[in-house]
């Protein structure tokens, strides 16, 4: 990243931190989870469960919207379906891992594709976890999200 070059080490850390956020969309501190899912009923179900846990949730119905929201709002955790209209979940995953500003976001794949090759591909591309929608209850999803959120705050 460019901040080390632009800011001499004499500059106080608080300033460099502030400096590094300039020119980048500000991370909305409130968005915990972005869910990219084209099935409205499924999306709404997970949203309800996560909201009831007190989390801030946004939903995107396709890859394009999802990527835009990712860049604008910087969610703490991304829940990502594979089968989407237009570009698929793999594309989003690739974009996220290739973008230094987003690469740190844990990505939980949430799909009904169960072929071993599909799962392997997602994990190799950098997915943090792969969950089969039909055999995962919303409570389990919420539990996994919580785990990532806690881990994230521990790091901070």
Partner 1 sequence: MREAVNALNWATDAAFVLLAAASIRQYIRHPQRHRLDIAAAILLLTLVAALGRLQPALPSSWMPAITDLEIALLLASAYAFLRFRADFIPLPRPWEIAIIATLVVIVAYTVAVGLSTAGARPTPAQEVALVLVVGAWVACIGEPVIRFALASRGRPPVQRRRLQTLAGGYLLLIIVLVVAGLASSAADNQVVSLVIACISLLSVPLIYAGFSAPAWLRRIWREAEEEAFRHATRDLVTYSPTRSEMGQRAVEWAVRLTGGDGAFIAEPNGAVLAAAGMEPTWAQELLQQLPLETEDPVEIAANRTAVRLPLPSPGTAPASLVVVTGPFTPFFGTDEQLRLRQYAANTAAGLDRASLTERITALERTKTEFLNLASHELRAPLTVIRGYLSMVKEGSFGALPPDLSEVIPVLLDKADQMNRLVEQMLEASRLEEGRLELKLEMSDLRELVRAAMEESRPLSTPIHKLQMQAPPGEIPVRVDRQRVTTIVSNLISNAIKYSPKGGEVRLLVDGGGGGSALVAVRDEGVGIDPSDNERVFTRFGRITTSETRNVPGTGLGLYLSRELARLHGGDLTFQSEPGAGSTFTLMLPLEAS
The yes or no reply on residue 39 touching partner 1 (CB under 8 A) is yes
At 127 the three-state DSSP class reads coil
114, 68, 30, 152 alpha-carbon torsion, rounded to 10°: 50
Q: What distance in Å separates the CA atoms of residue 106 and residue 148, rounded to the nearest whole number?
A: 7
**Among the listed residues 29, 86, 114, 126, the single contact to partner 1 using CB under 8 A:** 114
The yes or no reply on residue 41 touching partner 1 (CB under 8 A) is yes
User: Closest CB to partner 1 among 81 and 105?
Assistant: 81
The yes or no reply on residue 3 touching partner 1 (CB under 8 A) is no
- Residues that bind partner 1 (rule: CB under 8 A) add up to a total of 20
Question: What is the residue-wise DSSP string for 78-101?
Answer: EEE-S--SSS-HHHHHHHHHH-TT
The yes or no reply on residue 48 touching partner 1 (CB under 8 A) is yes
**Among the listed residues 64, 138, 146, 152, the single contact to partner 1 using CB under 8 A:** 138
CB of 40 to partner 1, least distance (A): 10
Q: What distance in Å separates the CA atoms of residue 101 and residue 74, rounded to the nearest whole number?
A: 9
User: Closest CB to partner 1 among 102 and 141?
Assistant: 141
Token reading at 72: 């604008």
Q: What distance in Å separates the CA atoms of residue 70 and residue 121, rounded to the nearest whole number?
A: 22
Q: What distance in Å separates the CA atoms of residue 23 and residue 110, rounded to the nearest whole number?
A: 32
**Among the listed residues 116, 124, 155, 156, the single contact to partner 1 using CB under 8 A:** 116
Binding positions for partner 1, rule: CB under 8 A: 39, 41-42, 45-46, 48-49, 52, 112-116, 132-135, 137-139
């Amino acid at each position: 990243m460019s901040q080390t070059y632009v800011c001499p080490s004499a500059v106080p850390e608080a300033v460099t931190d502030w400096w590094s956020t300039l020119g980048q969309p500000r991370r909305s501190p409130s968005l915990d989870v972005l869910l990219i899912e084209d099935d409205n009923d499924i999306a709404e179900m997970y949203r309800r469960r996560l909201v009831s846990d007190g989390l801030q949730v946004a939903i995107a119905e396709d890859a394009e919207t999802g990527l835009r929201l990712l860049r604008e709002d910087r969610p703490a955790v991304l829940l990502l379906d594979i089968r989407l209209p237009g570009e698929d979940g793999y594309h989003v995953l690739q974009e996220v891992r290739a973008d230094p500003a987003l690469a740190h976001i844990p990505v939980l794949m949430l799909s009904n594709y169960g072929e071993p090759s599909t799962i392997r591909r997602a994990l190799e591309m950098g997915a943090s976890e792969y969950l089969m929608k039909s055999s995962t209850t919303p409570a389990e999803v919420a539990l996994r999200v919580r785990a990532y959120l806690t881990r994230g705050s521990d790091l901070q």
